[in-house]
């Protein structure tokens, strides 16, 4: 059974800092891995999708990497801003999409 | 395009009542799914559909029914609501059903069962 873990559960950083969010999964037989953003009281917005054959994807200040052999993905946020404050979730697709519990990020001005 | 639309946004039920959460998408997506989100539990898959007429169970299907008579609509039915079904429910869709690709979410339906 696929299990997805995100550490840390919460993170507070000052504005401008570069940061890394972590996602680990137990079954490497996946089609893809996605990172989502969720603002309070809202639905989820897809940020980056990494196919199983890819190592990383980039969008603006965001970079996501995937290492299937070790069951790990990281989301790197460069030059963080208060508007980046949200909960970030990773989800692994091995036929069914299984979510981690998320990392709640707070970026202080 | 409206994307994924969920109704109602808020609902309060009494134990034993039934109701249907509506989900519609206008992107001609094959794959649709329902999740519930609970504090400390993350998002858990309830049911999903890979096309009209085809549905399957997710991680936590008990107490919920679904049907997919059209590509656009994927309603979630609670037959006899229980307090344990108090949660935020999200509908999501994707263009394909194998290697789901980018998933599009609705804004959520917040259900309280008293």
Could you read off the pLDDT of A5-53 as tens digits, one per residue? 999 999 999 999 999 999 999 999 998 999 999 999 889 999 999 999 9
pLDDT tens sequence across A48-99: 999 999 999 999 999 999 999 999 999 999 999 999 999 999 999 887 788 9
| CB-CB neighbours of A83 under 10 Å | 9
Nearest CA in chain B to A49: B102
Q: Is the Cβ–Cβ distance between B53 and B60 less than 8 Å?
A: no
Q: Which of A45, A49, A102 sits opposite B101 (nearest CB)?
A: A49
Using a CB-CB distance cutoff of 8 angstroms, which residues of chain A are in contact with residue B40? 101
Q: Do B105 and A96 touch (CB under 8 A)?
A: no
Phi, psi of A73 (to 5 degrees): -140, 150
Whether the CB of A97 is below 8 Å from some CB of chain B: the reply is yes
Q: Do B105 and A32 touch (CB under 8 A)?
A: no
Can you give the pLDDT at residue B98? 60
Q: Is the Cβ–Cβ distance between A2 and A95 less than 8 Å?
A: no
> Based on the number of CB atoms within 10 Å of its own CB, is A76 exposed (0-12), middle (13-18) or buried (19 or more)?
middle
Can you give the pLDDT at residue B100? 58
Q: Do A46 and B90 touch (CB under 8 A)?
A: no
């Amino acid at each position: 059974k696929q299990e997805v873990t995100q550490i840390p559960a919460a993170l507070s950083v000052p504005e401008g800092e570069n940061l890394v969010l972590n996602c680990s999964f137990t079954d490497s037989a996946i089609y893809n891995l996605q990172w989502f953003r969720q603002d309070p009281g809202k639905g989820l917005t897809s940020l980056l999708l990494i196919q199983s054959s890819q190592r990383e994807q980039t969008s603006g200040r965001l970079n996501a990497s995937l290492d299937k052999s070790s069951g790990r993905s990281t989301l790197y946020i460069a030059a963080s801003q208060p508007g980046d404050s949200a909960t970030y979730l990773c989800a692994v697709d091995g036929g069914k999409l299984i979510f981690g519990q998320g990392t709640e990020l707070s970026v202080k001005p | 395009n409206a994307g994924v639309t969920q109704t109602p946004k808020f609902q309060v039920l009494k134990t034993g009542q039934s109701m249907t959460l509506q989900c519609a998408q206008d992107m001609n997506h094959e794959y649709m799914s329902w999740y519930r989100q609970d504090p400390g539990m993350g998002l858990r898959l309830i049911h999903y559909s890979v096309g009209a007429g085809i549905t399957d169970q997710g991680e936590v299907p008990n107490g919920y029914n679904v049907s997919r008579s059209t590509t656009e609509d994927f309603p979630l039915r609670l037959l006899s609501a229980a307090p344990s079904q108090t949660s935020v429910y999200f509908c999501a869709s994707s263009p394909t059903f194998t290697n789901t690709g980018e998933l599009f979410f609705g804004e959520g339906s917040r259900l309280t069962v008293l």
